Structure 1
Amino acid sequence: MRFTVPLLRHYWRNRRGRVACIGVPRPPPPQPRRASSDLAAQRCTALRYEKHGDPAQAVRLEVMELPPLGPKDVLVRMLAAPINPSDINMIQGTYAILPELPAVGGNEGVAEVVEAGPQVTSLRAGDRVIPRDAGLGTWRTAAVLAERDLLSLPSDIPLLSAATLGVNPCTAFRMLSDFEDLKPGDTLIQNAANSAVGQAVIQIAAARGINTINVVRDRPEFRRLSEGLKAMGAAHVIAEETLRRPETKELFQTLPRPKLALNGVGGKSATELLRHLQAGGSMVTYGGMAKQPVTVPVSALIFKDVKVRGFWVTQWKKDHAHDEGAMRTMLDALCALIRQGKLSAPSCTEVSLRDYPKALDAAMQPFTSTKQILIM
């Protein structure tokens, strides 16, 4: 006997003590335990796309058959998955890596192991897991995945923190660790400070005693945004326009000039970050929201010998695919900060998987500081 998707979702929700959806039928009576191959031969609901283009047109909610559970596979039920800019770019066909079509959207999220194959050694039923790398397709209710493609997380990490841990906090952690030897009292400057990466940078830096100068685009709610970032640990929050004015130099009467600049925007914003770096400092580009090239002043190279670098967390994970210790050490450090209340999830809006059009539309709006999280 095969569960339909609504029955399966109703059954899972009731097991977790959640209220069943109105209009969903009652689950069938308890059945005898199934063999792995039978259990995995169920269906899931997924957001798929068959061609690249506008996500609003390309993405469809579909029912998919799950493959049989192999000896080194695990059956997971997805709990929550965010909509990141890279997810949007992947659907549009403009990202650096593209999955084979048709594909399930989503590169990040958290799941719970339902059953493990007989040769799985590192995971068991009940464990929480996140994707090791991009491309697994997390916008679905369930999946059969290889053990090697998953990383376990402690069960005491809040759901939204777990769902958003694998990309942006890891990006922030690596950029703060791998380019300059930052010590307590040092300064960094970043644009896109209200992004998920920017919020993680603020919190991790504050935990390490590092001052942050945070640049955001001016907007009607600038004061409220500034207060929110300062509550996370930001030393200063300034608008893009202010960054270009002479009074910005007054900041460096009380703070040392930045050793590190983090650029998620590009264009003129990146050039202004470079102007404020101390001699020998580094600017690391991890995004290009402005879709404009980074222009490096000749004077910054000749007279300040600045270093201009790039970072892509997906490449870092590929480079360290066989270095289990590096990934584990980073995740353990981030989880420790979460437990200590020093690293929280970005501002999130929880959206039902079936309300995905609203979530996709909100994720693509300008001046957004809230991440859309699909709740399964």
Structure 2
Amino acid sequence: MAFRASLVRLNRAIVYTQNGEPSQVLSALTYKPLPPPAPDTVNIKYLLAPINPSDVNVVQGVYPAKPSLTSLVDGHSDVFVGGNEGLAEVMQIGSGVSGLAVGDWVVMTKSQAGTWSSARNVGAMDVLKLPRADGLTEVHGATMTVNPPTALNMLTNYVTLGKDEWVVQNGANSAVGQAVIQIAASRGFKTLNLVRKRPDLEELTTKLKDLGATEVLTYDDLADRSLTQKIIKDWTAGKGIRLGLNCVSGPDTTSMARLLGQDAYLVSYGAMSKQPLSLPTSLFIFKNLTSVGFWQSRWYKTHTRDDKEKLMQTLVDLVAQGKLKAPEHEILTIPARDSDEVAGQKVRDIFAKIAEGQYGKKVLLKIESSQ
């Protein structure tokens, strides 16, 4: 019996068979060692995988990206494996694969790759080698493909900003917001960062300025017309701000949009308020405002492998230069010694705490394997 127990514990994934609240529908499933990789595939071991807000939405069934059903255990119904982002290590390489070696770190470029697992077989073209660099940690790698690329692409794909030009963003304390601050600072851009009014505002302001934020204001501050006029006239020398980044929508984004100048872009990548984006028609008529949406998953689908490699290299270089920090985080381990029942309950408890706001940091899962 002990021998059989060791076999079923070799690999594990966090799975679900129907959509719903993660704290209710997720479970743990063990499966046998991976067979040798087929041609053009690699076997990988996941090192860390974050839990992003979009991951929760995927499990709930309200996110546009959908995972595929996967068969992990013979005779067991197909399951959805959770997780979109993560860092893995190459363990075995199938024939026909070039550019990868055993021991390489890789990140996922295929959406909904099922990263909440200990080991998987994946297509070689669905992963990207992550360049190693001084200061690059597993946490950097595990959080490299969603938030930092979103920040970098929004800062560079729409408006060519010069040194000392301004960017305004809401949700500035989010993971993307903090990446925007750091990447903008590395390029000499100034950032006006909007956050909710809160008891610890002074502490948050200090934290964001330590990352490189130029100014931090609350949404309530935008109600002061004299202040907004000062922002436009004095801070930007009357030019206004040419790039706004929105993850909130609703009335707060309407107020933020009024800070934008001639021929500006408002780039939306979220709607945390769950309210519509409403913009004054005058901004389009008299200021020629362009409002667009950005989704990093779509970028991966529409860009070449060379583009993706250049993107990762740029971000790794920023890490090596000390200009892009790993997010504040907490690593939660699901031990190999736990039964599926115990492991599943631990995972459901984690998501219940996330829903209650008990984690103020990025949560990363480490799914242990007994290999």
Coarse TM-score class (shorter-chain normalised):
0.7 to 0.9
- The residue that corresponds to 2:42 in the other structure is 74
Query: Are 1:122 and 2:99 counterparts?
Result: yes
How far is the alpha carbon of 1:66 from its aligned partner? 5.3
1:96 corresponds in structure 2 to 64
* Displacement of 1:251: 3.0
| Alignment pair present for 1:283 and 2:266 | yes
CA shift, 1:296, in A, is: 1.1
8 Å CA contact 1:128–1:153 kept in 2: the answer is: yes
SS in 2 for 1:292: coil
Give CA deviations for 1:185-223 in whole Å, capped at 9, x if unaligned: 100100111111101100000000000011111222221
Separation of aligned partners in 1, 2:196 and 2:31: 42
CA distance in 1, matches of 2:317, 2:4: 39
Q: 1:372 maps to which residue?
A: 363
Ranked by relative contact order (alpha carbons within 8 Å, sequence separation 6 or more), the top structure is: 2
CA positional deviation for 1:326: 1.1
Q: Map Cα deviations across residues 74-107 of structure 1 (whole Å, 9 max, x no partner).
A: 1111100101111111000001121234211000
Distance across 2 between alignment mates of 1:5 and 1:318: 41
Q: 8 Å contact 2:48–2:86 — kept in the other structure?
A: yes
Correspondence for 1:183: 162
Residue of structure 2 in register with 1:226 after alignment: 205
Residue type of the alignment partner of 2:12:
T
Change (3 A) 1:152 1:4: farther
1:136 maps to which of 113, 128, 131 = 113
RMSD: 2.1
**TM-score, structure 2 as length reference:** 0.87
* 1:316-331 to 2 correspondences below 5 Å: 316-320=299-303, 323-331=304-312
Residue 205 (1) aligns with residue 205 (2):
no
Inter-CA distance 168–3: structure 2 relative to 1 (3 Å threshold): farther
> Distance in 2 between the 1:3 and 1:340 partners?
49
| Partners of 1:282 and 1:306 within 8 A in 2 | yes
Residues 367 and 171 (structure 1 numbering): CA distance in 2 closer, same or farther, change over 3 Å?
farther
| Residue equivalent to 1:215 | 194
2:140 is the alignment partner of 1:149: no
Change (3 A) 1:3 1:173: farther
- Number of the residue aligned with 1:162: 141
Give the secondary-structure state (helix, strand or coil) at the position aligned to 1:280.
Answer: strand
- Deviation string, structure 1 residues 20-57 (Cα, Å, up to 9, x no partner): xxxxxxxxxxxxxxxxxxxxxx9411110100011100
User: Residues 335-374 of structure 1: matches in 2 within 5 Å?
Assistant: 335-353=316-334, 354=343, 355-365=346-356, 369-374=360-365
Contact 2:23–2:350, Cα closer than 8 Å, also in 1: no
Contact 2:246 2:266 in 1 (8 A): yes
Structure 1 unaligned segments of length 5 or more: list them. 9-41
1:59 equivalent in alignment to 2:26:
yes
Q: After the TM superposition, which segments of 4 or more aligned residues of structure 1 sit over 4 Å from their partners?
A: 2-8, 365-369
Cα distance in 1, alignment partners of residues 60 and 103 from structure 2: 35
Counterpart residue number, 1:33: none
- Partner letter of residue 350 of structure 2? A
SS in 1 for 2:210: helix
Contact 1:79–1:111 (Cα < 8 Å) also in 2: yes
Is the 8 Å Cα contact of residues 4 and 43 (structure 1) preserved in structure 2?
Answer: no
TM-score under structure 1 normalisation?
A: 0.85
Seen in structure 2, the aligned counterparts of structure 1 residues 252 and 5 have a Cα distance that, compared at 3 Å, is farther
Aligned-residue offset at 1:329:
1.1
Contact persistence 2:26–2:347 (CA under 8 A): no
Q: Tell me how far 1:368 sits from its aligned partner.
A: 6.5
Determine the C-alpha separation between the residues in 2 that align with 1:5 and 1:234: 53
Q: Which of 235-244 and 289-298 deviates more? A: 235-244
Q: Deviations over 1:127-155 (max 9, x none)?
A: 00000121110001111111111000123
| Percentage of matched positions with identical amino acids | 37
- In structure 2, the CA distance between the partners of 1:111 and 1:348, relative to structure 1 (3 Å rule), is same
- In the other structure, the counterpart of 2:75 is none
Determine the C-alpha separation between the residues in 1 that align with 2:353 and 2:230.
Answer: 37
Q: 1:270 corresponds to which letter in structure 2?
A: T
- Partner amino acid, structure 2, of 1:136: A
